[in-house]
Amino acid sequence: MLIFVLNAGSSSLKYQLIDIKSKELKASGLVERIGIDGILKHEIGENKKLTFETSIPTHKEAIELVLRILTNDETKVINKIEEIKAIGHRVVHGGEHFKESVLVDDDVIRKIEELIPLAPLHNPANILGVKICKELMPKVPNVVTFDTAFHQTMPIENFLYAVPYADYTEHHLRKYGFHGTSHYYVSNEAIKLLNKKDSKIIVCHLGNGSSVCAVRDGKSISTSMGLTPLEGLVMGTRSGDIDAGVIPYLMEKKGLNHTQILDYLNKKSGILGISGVSSDLREVIKSANDGDNRSKIAITMLCDRIKKYLCSYAGLMHGVDAICFTAGIGENSDLIREKVCEGLEFMGIEIDKEKNSKRDKGNREVNTKNSNTKIFIIPTNEEFVIATDTYNLIKK
């Protein structure tokens, strides 16, 4: 059975066509620069790569183009669109309404729209993707999977901010957390590797956006991102944790308005802001190796912030059975994994430098034999979770 997985952003659209029974990835791709000019990078299976540059004025033309390419003679992987039996959509914010994936109906659309003030950059594009699919493929069921849903198990003391309680009840002010689909997938893989359900796992999702999650017995109990994805780790362009007093101070000193200060903290800070080199960690590592001091400081700040969360979550759970690294940095950078684990031997966390430095695919264990805590590298697969949830919901 073929499931189409869609992740619609403000000017981009990621997709995968997955055969859920055989777990085969039939095709995948990314449409970028929607409304500007338009470029589509399409992959058939895991090898054949194609690029199309054409005018793509709106998301509707983007989805139409992808559907044409999936069925066109030269590029086809399916004979007709009707072979797609369901569509799974990534939606960033599900607020407190959604604790799991759901089939789309008018009430679900209304609730996602109500949550736009909490995710103004993401939810409008996500819901637009759903509406266009309903228009183009009216007979096909749509399912939505939320980045926030996995974290809905956090206990109240871990999701409240220490501000007047009425702002939680009246204005929904609380930590929601993000990357939930990835934290769920990776922790679930770790549970299988540990072969125990009553487990204490810390997942480090380290990409351009990054977050850490404490997962106890398969449930998220705390995570580093907050009301928005700005809180927590030092990220590609986001500051992560800062003193809230920084905001009025900078607004006054630099004459910034509320949009400009958010832009400063979301797009100009983090690794890019400290190093002044790039938000791409590969370039920052290269420049640190060439002797650039600010790049070295950025890398140390990134690793120390992760370490701070690791230790606090180990304390919160009274121990840790496994630390998992995932996403672009977590899966690929032996340097960052090594620096994060460095000095934690006193807690029984010991990375095997040789195993850690080997490049490989798939899930792998990189701790020493003596380490009390397992250290896993687990490539994330959010699309597969969305496809599986979609299949399970339509089967019902």
Residue 381: C-alpha distances to residues 76, 182, 362 (Å) = 24, 7, 11
| 83 in a labelled binding site | no
For the CB of residue 54, give the shortest distance to ligand AMP in the complex, in Å.
Answer: 25
Q: Closest CB to ligand AMP among 40 and 299?
A: 299
For the CB of residue 234, give the shortest distance to ligand AMP in the complex, in Å.
Answer: 12
| 364 in a labelled binding site | no
| φ, ψ of residue 170 in degrees (nearest 5) | -90, -35
Q: Closest CB to ligand AMP among 196 and 282?
A: 282
Q: Closest CB to ligand AMP among 38 and 236?
A: 236
| 206 in a labelled binding site | yes
Q: Residues interacting with ligand AMP, by CB under 6 A? A: 207-208, 236, 280-282, 285, 327-329, 332-333
Q: Which two tokens stand for residue 181?
A: 């689909």
| 356 in a labelled binding site | no
The β-bridge relationship of strands 210-216 and 364-365 is: unpaired
Structural contact between residues 187 and 218, judged by C-beta atoms closer than 8 angstroms: yes
Q: Closest CB to ligand AMP among 159 and 178?
A: 178
Residue nearest to ligand AMP (CB): 328
For the CB of residue 230, give the shortest distance to ligand AMP in the complex, in Å.
Answer: 16
Tell me the H-state helices in the chain: 59-71, 106-114, 123-136, 156-159, 166-171, 180-194, 246-254, 258-267, 270-275, 281-289, 293-316, 327-332, 334-341, 353-357, 382-395
| Residue 147 annotated in active site | yes
Q: Which two tokens stand for residue 111?
A: 């609730």
74: which residues sit within 8 A by CB, 6+ positions away?
none
| 188 in a labelled binding site | no
- The Cα–Cα gap between 202 and 367 comes to 14
For the CB of residue 356, give the shortest distance to ligand AMP in the complex, in Å.
Answer: 13
The amino acid at residue 257 is: N
For the CB of residue 107, give the shortest distance to ligand AMP in the complex, in Å.
Answer: 33
Q: Closest CB to ligand AMP among 28 and 373?
A: 28
The amino acid at residue 87 is: I
Q: Which two tokens stand for residue 381?
A: 């697969």
Catalytic residue among 19, 105, 147, 198: 147
| 205 in a labelled binding site | yes
For the CB of residue 332, give the shortest distance to ligand AMP in the complex, in Å.
Answer: 3
DSSP conformational letter for 351: B
Q: Closest CB to ligand AMP among 119 and 281?
A: 281
Structural contact between residues 378 and 186, judged by C-beta atoms closer than 8 angstroms: yes
- The Cα–Cα gap between 180 and 186 comes to 10
| 14 in a labelled binding site | yes
Q: Which residue positions form the known binding site for ATP?
A: 14, 205-209, 280-282, 328-332
Q: Which residue positions form the known binding site?
A: 7, 14, 90, 205-209, 280-282, 328-332, 382
List residues with catalytic annotation.
Answer: 147
Q: Which residue positions form the known binding site for Mg(2+)?
A: 7, 382
Q: Which residue positions form the known binding site for substrate?
A: 90
